[in-house]
Structure 1
Amino acid sequence: MSSEVFVPRPYYDTRVLSQEGVPVKKSDPNPSSGSATAGYRSAKYTPSEWFSNYHTILQRAGSDNQAARSIQRESRTLYQHTEADTSQTQADGTRLLGERLQEIHYWKSELQRRIDQLQADTESLLALKKRLEKALDATETPYAIATDNLNCRTRRLGPDLVRDSVEEELIKEVDLIKSIQALVKRTTAQVVTQIKMNREAKQTLEMDWSDKYQAYNFDDHSGRCTNMSPDTQHHPSSATVQDQVSNCTLWTTFTQNNLSKALHEEQATHSLRRLVEQVLKDTTEDLRVQCSRVDQAFSRRCGELIEAKTQLEIKLAKVLEEIGAQERNIVALQQAIQNIEPPLRVAQSRLHLRSLRPNIELCRDPPQLSLEGEVRQIDSSLASLHQQLSEARGSLSYLEESRITLEKDINCKNHSLFIDRDKCMFHRKRYPTVSMLSGY
């Protein structure tokens, strides 16, 4: 073994020294305290070193106690403040979530109200669309009636084929029905377009409502979360501000714009409904008024035809009477001519026989003059009778022509009456009612 004895140096607390600003001396941990001696002399602490070490330990323990109490006070204050701040922040967050829920609920209710209104408006427009389609179909009947009336009246005969007031009113009716059909088609197209706009606006509101419904559920669930909730967990990245997020102003403006668009479509729907109702009312009234005008024109025309037919029939009766009288007159004239033939033959025979007198006896004596006058008288009477007979026969021919003309005209009037009264006016009884023309 070595004969050297190592004596330790006094112990220094480097933490205290460093805190007090005393430089730490690094030395050999086992330096020699002096010359090594044999026997009982060994490396031991001196009393001063022992007291120094004892006081150092006390100071260090006191310092540690003070530091620990200071940290404890600071920690107590810190966690109390932290707990209070956290509770306050959590309470504020819960309160804000509640306010947000109320706001979302308000806008969601507004959206739902507009959605319901748009749905009701769309259903009313669909009903109006059906009415317009029925009204358009109903106009086909009066159009067919009017065109059929015009076609039937082209089959009138002779002088009755005239462009009268009935034909003018029928042409007006056809033109009116065509214009009404075009108007109803345009109105139907407007209704279809408005239905499409309403559905688009409704879809936009429904998407916004769905987003708010989900946001409401998330915020409601978030508001119900407490420190004792078992389903809470750490989401470190959730507090990071996300890109493309909206602010409150943009959020409110977005919903307000959707509601404004829905309100605009609602107002447009109400205006279009009033327009459609007015169109159906006006077109129905116009058709019924024109139908009444045509019916009145038919009635007047039928009255004129009946009156003309009556006058013609009266005149035909007179003509027939005149024809009978003229025929009897002709027979009488012929009989008179036949009756005058024997006296003429007698007078002519007498003159012929007296012309055979001889010589001086062939003289113009009174009998001769009387016979010559008688023959001249009979010839004149016979000529007058023949002239009268010719005139009577001519008059009878004219009367026959008048009879034929009257009968033809009466047949024309009967045919025209059959067309106007028995066909056209009877066909017009199938004219649609006001409710059918209104689309019901």
Structure 2
Amino acid sequence: MALNNNRYSCPYICPSTHMQGEETKQQETAKIAVKPENILSAPYVPGNVRPRSPKVYPPGAPPKYLPQPTESTSGDILWMSPVGPWAAGHIDWSPQAGITGVRPVVDKYSITRYSTGEWRKNNQFTLTPRATDKAKALEAETQKDVANTFSNLDKKLNHSNEMLNDRIKELSYWKKQVQSTLNGITEELAAIEADRQRLKGACKILMLPEAISRECLELRTGRYEPDLVRDDAEQELIKEVAIVGEIRKIFNDTLIKAELQIEMIKSTKAAIERDWSDKEISLKIDNLNYTLTPDSNLILAHPGVTRWPENATTLEYWKHYCAESIRNCEDVRKMSAKLRADLMTSITKGGEDMKNQANRTNSALAETIDATEQMCEKLEDNLKDNLQKIADIENLIDYLKESLRNVQERNKCVMTRLHNRNYERPSVENCRDEAQYALMAEAKFIKESSESLQSKLREAESVRSELMKYRGELEKDIACKRKSLNIDKDRCARVRAHMPTPEEFAAG
């Protein structure tokens, strides 16, 4: 059923009457181009359903969602029979069916209202732009104003970036200067701390030579009385103890100065570190600001920040403060370097003085030891001679005793002869003959010889007694000298072998 009144038709969806001729032509073209497939007509004939052939679009056809040259928006080309399982209802169904009240194609699955051509026609209408000239003019003007605004904003941003870049360079320069000064004061602090530890070690080491000197003095008090003298070695040991006391006083005074200097360096280092930290924070902030752009994801709105801070300083004062902090730090560092030189001088000179005094003491001890050794050797030689004399005297005594025994034997012989002649000869035969006189003379000589030998024996025993006494004196003196040598050469030398060197003093 067709309507001839155009006021009930939609120019975009429902075709008008003047378009019926064109639609008729399109339907004829569609009938020629598209052949119906699987047309179900009554009655149903088995075996008439065949597979669907794919649609073939001509070359250069528009997209599938836009109207095609081979289709129509009329419902007469649905190729559905009026009767059957998919009955199309009235065969005169048209897109105007919704307006005229004619029922659309209805089955138990769906309600068909529009054709595929109408859907594509509506897609084309939806995709067609509908901008006005006013919108175009407003858009062009707005784009021009926005372009000028953003051009000026970019210039301001570039100028701010240049100023920030200059500030970053200046901050980097001063930060490098402060960093160099900080490294210098840090190295100076480490150096003076090492020297202070070295000086404390030297003070500890100084206890060793003092203990050695006092130990040597105490050991030398154990000498026996003949050698208990105040010799050169004793004098040098006393000087050594005095020098140790003087060096300790100098070391303690220098150590107090070093500790005060370290406190000053630490306070100066803390100030320069605070300055470096402030510059590091400022440099990070300016670097961050230099990298920020309107496209950054870290930017936020901060109302009320376009003002001068209350604690802001002038650029001139900032430069003066940077130069003054570096100058103060350098002055403290130079003072510390001078003190370190004095400290090392005191350590070096003190060690050298201790070494020289130790050499003097060792030399005096060596002279004393040499003289004592020579005396000991001489005493030992005398002792050897004395022992040899004692042995000779003892041999002499034995010889005299043997001689006295022989004399006694001879005396017994004479006495026996006289006894026999005096008491055995009878009467007149007992006369004073020459033999009697000879025997009497022999007896007298034997008696005199015996007395002479006994006198020699007593003299030899007296000499032996004197030699024995001298031997005791020699042995006692030798023991005294050996005791002194043991103290000076062995015990004192063993103790003084641990005397520290100037290098040990310098190393701490």
For normalisation by structure 1, the TM-score amounts to: 0.58
Q: State the shift of 1:274 in Å.
A: 2.5
Matched residues in 1 for 2:235 and 2:271: separation? 54
Correspondence 1:34-433 to 2 at 5 A? 93-224=160-291, 231=299, 233=301, 235-236=303-304, 238-239=306-307, 241-316=308-383, 403-433=471-501
Q: State the shift of 1:199 in Å.
A: 2.1
Correspondence 1:9-20 to 2 at 5 A? none
Could you tell me whether the CA contact under 8 Å between 2:348 and 2:502 is conserved in 1? no
Q: State the shift of 1:223 in Å.
A: 4.3
1:62-111 deviation per Cα after TM superposition (whole angstroms, max 9, x unaligned): xxxxxxxxxxxxxxxxxxxx999998776655443332222211111111
Matched residues in 2 for 1:237 and 1:418: separation? 92
Matched residues in 2 for 1:234 and 1:315: separation? 113
Q: State the shift of 1:301 in Å.
A: 0.7
Aligned residue for 1:238, secondary structure, equals coil
* CA RMSD, Structure 1 to Structure 2 (Å): 4.4
For 2:482, the aligned partner's letter is N
Could you tell me whether the CA contact under 8 Å between 1:130 and 1:439 is conserved in 2? no
Matched residues in 1 for 2:360 and 2:241: separation? 13
1:185-211 deviation per Cα after TM superposition (whole angstroms, max 9, x unaligned): 333333333332222212111111121
Structure 1 residues 117 and 318, CA, compared in 2 at 3 Å: closer, same or farther?
same
Q: State the shift of 1:173 in Å.
A: 1.8
Aligned residue for 1:430, secondary structure, equals coil
Structure 1 residues 160 and 94, CA, compared in 2 at 3 Å: closer, same or farther?
same
Aligned residue for 1:438, secondary structure, equals helix
For 1:146, the aligned partner's letter is S
Matched residues in 1 for 2:482 and 2:289: separation? 94
Q: State the shift of 1:181 in Å.
A: 3.0
Matched residues in 2 for 1:429 and 1:84: separation? 89
Aligned residue for 2:497, secondary structure, equals helix
Matched residues in 2 for 1:313 and 1:227: separation? 110
For 1:427, the aligned partner's letter is V
**Stretch of structure 1 that moved more, 399-408 or 301-310:** 399-408
For normalisation by structure 2, the TM-score amounts to: 0.51
For 1:101, the aligned partner's letter is I
Could you tell me whether the CA contact under 8 Å between 1:135 and 1:438 is conserved in 2? yes
Give ranges in structure 2 of 5+ residues lacking alignment.
1-148, 405-450
Structure 1 residues 163 and 226, CA, compared in 2 at 3 Å: closer, same or farther?
same
Could you tell me whether the CA contact under 8 Å between 1:138 and 1:439 is conserved in 2? no
Structure 1 residues 323 and 247, CA, compared in 2 at 3 Å: closer, same or farther?
same
Matched residues in 1 for 2:179 and 2:353: separation? 42
Could you tell me whether the CA contact under 8 Å between 2:351 and 2:501 is conserved in 1? no
Q: State the shift of 1:169 in Å.
A: 1.3
For 2:492, the aligned partner's letter is C
**Stretch of structure 1 that moved more, 229-238 or 129-138:** 229-238
Structure 1 residues 311 and 84, CA, compared in 2 at 3 Å: closer, same or farther?
same
Q: State the shift of 1:278 in Å.
A: 2.6
1:356-391 deviation per Cα after TM superposition (whole angstroms, max 9, x unaligned): xxxxxxxxxxxxxxxxxxxxxxxxxx9xxx9x9999
Matched residues in 1 for 2:322 and 2:474: separation? 86
1:104-144 deviation per Cα after TM superposition (whole angstroms, max 9, x unaligned): 11111111111122222222233323333333333333222
Matched residues in 2 for 1:213 and 1:317: separation? 92
Could you tell me whether the CA contact under 8 Å between 2:185 and 2:333 is conserved in 1? yes
Q: Which has the higher helix share?
A: 1
Aligned residue for 1:139, secondary structure, equals helix
Matched residues in 1 for 2:277 and 2:469: separation? 94
For 2:478, the aligned partner's letter is I
Aligned residue for 2:507, secondary structure, equals coil
Matched residues in 1 for 2:158 and 2:498: separation? 79
Q: State the shift of 1:228 in Å.
A: 6.9
For 1:426, the aligned partner's letter is R
For 1:428, the aligned partner's letter is R
Matched residues in 2 for 1:325 and 1:392: separation? 10
Q: State the shift of 1:287 in Å.
A: 2.3
Give ranges in structure 1 of 5+ residues lacking alignment.
1-81, 336-381
